[in-house]
Structure 1
């Protein structure tokens, strides 16, 4: 068994793209090796900013041999009575590339058939890999790729070398004029010379000697350990930004953590300003005294040895000082103008082409926020504060601080609102209405933050859909999927009983009045598209929670209001009943009445035409149950609805046993179908039970 290494050497790859590229590299290797019939023990992938690495361990020396038996025509047409091959046999042999004399005849369940027996000897793995590796390299997917020099190859960054080894042999191929070889390079600064690798087993040791740690997990452990040691030494609290840690791992090949400092006067800036400047812009780790209090210190992970640490840290301190000085200047200048006086400046900032400016958006948020507040029946004072928050919530976008650091939108709005003597409730809503900002982020806590957040996200989604800017495939430049998920999570976690459809319709009306544009599609069509967009997100959420897809589909099919909390209740009730006898009983009865009446429209039942005791009994039970079903559905007591429906199952079964529905008498036939239709509609009030896959089909 042999070892294989493929190293794609590049210029520095953006850190945020590397992890996905590694997953893609591994998947591609698995796929192509399987297709090539090459067996191996394990595939591992590693990366640094300058290289993507594929390890294949215990790879077999050659492909698996293939032995095939291919079925051809029936013996009866392939040969005549004298056992002479006929045209079908000759053509089949020719198509399989064998002589007709080599065809074999075997008995099958359907009689005698002609077969061709073929074998294919596997080729050496090294020869297959020389064709496979260029395909793998070309197939790695990146969000953005580039061409360089005169090459047609697209990759995230220019490829400068390719190392490809099969034990001690070079796997030879040419990639756009670049020949594969046995040469790699060490650390760009500490060991930039060429390194010749004679055997795969030398690779790891040689790179370690030349200041390259190829395993991201090892680099992460080194970084985390050194940061913790520094924090412990200075008596700080161990708070490490895990997202920044993951990113830093792919910024360095040879990490070393160094402590830097900055002037304590900058601690007067808001905590979020300091952390965003350090973490987002400089990739530094702030040092905390306690959870919400910083020390005037930071940790930077350098891509170098500790010999050069002093010079490097001084340079980083100078850079941070300049950034913080800018932030301090912006903060002081912004405070000279009250937040309220900035609102009119939003008229000069375009929200989106054909969707008006940010001042227009502010007016829409006030209207939509008021509508949602009325739906949720919030207190008058809360609504008054909400309208004030809606008026001010975008004003910080024209401040110098947010222009320089866009990540601070909402955060600085809160700070400047408090500085402008606005109520804290108003300031909190300004900050919270952007939440959740990313997957896994916290949700707004205050009523006004919740309402304003929903209004803002709905306004964004509706505006984009009216302009034909709905997400397509993996493309979502306006983050609409994230915002839709944010709305869903807020509504479900806060148990808000509100119709998304009504909110969307209101938003459309406010756009039409406020921006004065002509809708490219009918209002109902746009509303349906947006509701379907939300339903796809809802479905994914419940699937992740382990709910069967058919339960979700059944509930969503009857949803026409987008009441997310009500959808959740229905799904939970059906999920609870799913494997119980009551539900199977209801499902069977529902399917029987549906199958017979699905092509008919509901019509009134003429009681005078009820002839049989079983049909009279069925209709009597139906009339008795209907008012109570409506009452329970109105009160969202869905478990009690199913209890009532169970009572209807026995009369349904009796009806089908004793009554001939498709009688020759047309008026009686129509009347009986009308009964069945009404009962079918009743059974499917909570969910479309025809969408439920039977337990038998699920194999449970």
Structure 2
């Protein structure tokens, strides 16, 4: 007989961002629990609201299947004493398996006899197995945990009730002082407590008590309600999916409604209004058919439409207060010049172990100048870049950004334009923060891209120099995200950046300009190269490049980010070619021998010591190699394959004569060094 089981964990209201990950975690843990306990089932359906995490499991089997298994015990010489009696080891083993010594047999494995027993395990009833879900619930983890009462147990919020119902029967277990029952709770204000007669009644019973337990149904309802309001008013409402997800996890019985605010606030930049509505009040903003922001908003109430006018008025009052603050800051900020704000940055700490924010800008100005020149910016672009690098953090000390931190960069662009800065300079101020998330939008302008890279590189250089290097999950200054952003920008624009070489140049330029921090930025350059290469690896993995090719490229000697991506692309494109295997095998043979060489054995190759034509032919072929891209390098290395094979056919590298041996090792090391620029090809798997 197939059963349906309902588990509901009732809680005090959870933070919205926790709800979806938590129900996914519970689903995964329960699925794993059932499989590990050999309980068959058809499907697990999830339910979640701010006050409950629940699953309905259909098609549950009656019991675990009975199993028979052969279990290996201690060796015979340990199981029997000198008189042939069973030892404590043998007796303890059989007791542990639920059998007796009479059930022991011996089998030989690799020349040694061992104790074996045949064990028959009777499957437990499903109701007994399901009691173990107590441990599953208690094993859950959350970003923030809390205790309550005098208990030491931690959970996301206090557990208020538990439902564990197998068809119509309660599965008994207890967490702290909360016992399982068939008793659940409806909407906090509109619903009532109620008893479930059967596990299959759950969703319908909750709906009667003003709870839509299916998160997707609730989300679809919100979306439809918002769209209806938009259609009725001839509005455009672009539904932000992350905001919709958050709102959905704040309500159990959603009712969307529209409100408005005074048109005078439309003089504030749209970004400020949208931030006030979306990020602070969880409102959806409204556009007219031309895409112009309107003095209206849509929000979602956790309840029905009764007294909705009071709810609208309350929300309008709260939003108006915030917009009044925004207008005040906007007007006050414009009373100061950009130079005044830049001067204030001398008193703002970038980090107390590194420098002030003004000093950071001075360093970034030097880095940006070198970067801009080397990636080929025009004279006009370099001028805009230089101006932007002098002022790009000024908005941090404005009142608006002090109140709305999300607007840093955005307000910098707005205020820069208001004070007569060029559009290119203003845009770079906004774009230097980009990307603001791992997969966020990249800067659209070259000037903004260079400033973004320079700002992020300075952070990495200085934090590493100060010993604040990310480890494990600890990355308080988001250096991994910043390095990932650098890599993405460079990949997008196909710009070269040899990390170690250029970083050394940046440090030297800062020293000459007298703006270097009181830290040795060169001491961690190798660690920085590895750190940024790891971000290249992450991008390649996201692009589904073969793992051995990624490992080979990252392990190579080249640290030019442009070349790393192109090396991976070249190897990936060549991997299915007929000559790929012989080429890689030939170069691998060279690499393996060169790796065995002591550095003292490496000398300048002397053609006078060659003893056969194959040595000279290989030398001439290698001497002719000149490349301006990793693609050209691969082609020329591939062209060496016949000469390499002829060389090994005619030449014993480890000659008795020390000079000849070292000369040959050096000749191979030249090839290995060239190959290392493409990657550690020894790691490439060929079939």
TM bucket normalised to smaller: over 0.9
Where in structure 2 are the equivalents of 1:535-614 lying within 5 Å?
A: 535-561=533-559, 563-600=560-597, 601=599, 602-612=602-612
Report the alpha carbon displacement of residue 479 of structure 1 after superposing the two structures with TM.
Answer: 2.1
Aligned-CA RMSD value: 2.6
In the alignment, the residues of structure 2 paired with residue 409 and residue 665 of structure 1 have an alpha-carbon distance, to the nearest angstrom, of 69
In the alignment, the residues of structure 2 paired with residue 462 and residue 22 of structure 1 have an alpha-carbon distance, to the nearest angstrom, of 41
In the alignment, the residues of structure 2 paired with residue 79 and residue 59 of structure 1 have an alpha-carbon distance, to the nearest angstrom, of 45
Partner of 1:651: 643
Range with greater deviation from structure 2 (170-179 or 312-321): 170-179
Where in structure 2 are the equivalents of 1:89-238 lying within 5 Å?
A: 91-92=89-90, 94-97=92-95, 98-105=99-106, 114-130=115-131, 132-191=132-191, 193-238=192-237
Say whether 1:686 aligns with 2:687. Answer: no
Partner of 2:346: 347
Range with greater deviation from structure 2 (654-663 or 227-236): 654-663
Partner of 1:698: none
In the alignment, the residues of structure 2 paired with residue 667 and residue 432 of structure 1 have an alpha-carbon distance, to the nearest angstrom, of 59
Partner of 2:622: 626
Range with greater deviation from structure 2 (465-474 or 410-419): 465-474
Matched positions, count: 678
Deviations 1:165-197 (A, max 9, x none): 222222222212222222211111111x32112
Deviations 1:577-602 (A, max 9, x none): 01212221111112223333421142
In the alignment, the residues of structure 2 paired with residue 461 and residue 96 of structure 1 have an alpha-carbon distance, to the nearest angstrom, of 61
What are the ranges of 5 or more consecutive residues in structure 2 without an aligned counterpart? Answer: none
Where in structure 2 are the equivalents of 1:26-41 lying within 5 Å?
A: 26-41=27-42
Report the alpha carbon displacement of residue 532 of structure 1 after superposing the two structures with TM.
Answer: 1.6
Secondary structure at the aligned position of 2:640 is classed as helix
Partner of 2:69: 68
In the alignment, the residues of structure 2 paired with residue 109 and residue 354 of structure 1 have an alpha-carbon distance, to the nearest angstrom, of 63
Secondary structure at the aligned position of 2:351 is classed as coil
Secondary structure at the aligned position of 1:184 is classed as strand
What are the ranges of 5 or more consecutive residues in structure 1 without an aligned counterpart? Answer: 696-700
In the alignment, the residues of structure 2 paired with residue 577 and residue 58 of structure 1 have an alpha-carbon distance, to the nearest angstrom, of 50
Deviations 1:80-107 (A, max 9, x none): 9xxx994689844641333333223568
In the alignment, the residues of structure 2 paired with residue 348 and residue 164 of structure 1 have an alpha-carbon distance, to the nearest angstrom, of 60
| Partners of 1:66 and 1:120 within 8 A in 2 | yes
Pick closer, same or farther for the CA change 1:88–1:674 going to 2, 3 Å.
Answer: farther
In the alignment, the residues of structure 2 paired with residue 355 and residue 338 of structure 1 have an alpha-carbon distance, to the nearest angstrom, of 27
Secondary structure at the aligned position of 1:347 is classed as helix
Partner of 2:52: 51
Deviations 1:119-140 (A, max 9, x none): 221222222322x223222222
Report the alpha carbon displacement of residue 516 of structure 1 after superposing the two structures with TM.
Answer: 4.7
| Partners of 1:45 and 1:53 within 8 A in 2 | yes
Deviations 1:630-669 (A, max 9, x none): x21xx11x33333333332223323333444445455544
Partner of 1:403: 402
Deviations 1:608-629 (A, max 9, x none): 44334xxx22x22322222442
In the alignment, the residues of structure 1 paired with residue 83 and residue 71 of structure 2 have an alpha-carbon distance, to the nearest angstrom, of 17
Secondary structure at the aligned position of 2:119 is classed as strand
In the alignment, the residues of structure 2 paired with residue 472 and residue 292 of structure 1 have an alpha-carbon distance, to the nearest angstrom, of 46
Secondary structure at the aligned position of 1:580 is classed as coil
Partner of 2:634: 642
Report the alpha carbon displacement of residue 206 of structure 1 after superposing the two structures with TM.
Answer: 1.1
In the alignment, the residues of structure 2 paired with residue 391 and residue 659 of structure 1 have an alpha-carbon distance, to the nearest angstrom, of 62
In the alignment, the residues of structure 1 paired with residue 594 and residue 362 of structure 2 have an alpha-carbon distance, to the nearest angstrom, of 50
Report the alpha carbon displacement of residue 221 of structure 1 after superposing the two structures with TM.
Answer: 0.6
Partner of 2:464: 465
Range with greater deviation from structure 2 (175-184 or 426-435): 175-184
In the alignment, the residues of structure 1 paired with residue 290 and residue 53 of structure 2 have an alpha-carbon distance, to the nearest angstrom, of 38
Secondary structure at the aligned position of 2:579 is classed as helix
Secondary structure at the aligned position of 1:302 is classed as strand
In the alignment, the residues of structure 2 paired with residue 677 and residue 341 of structure 1 have an alpha-carbon distance, to the nearest angstrom, of 59
Pick closer, same or farther for the CA change 1:63–1:514 going to 2, 3 Å.
Answer: farther
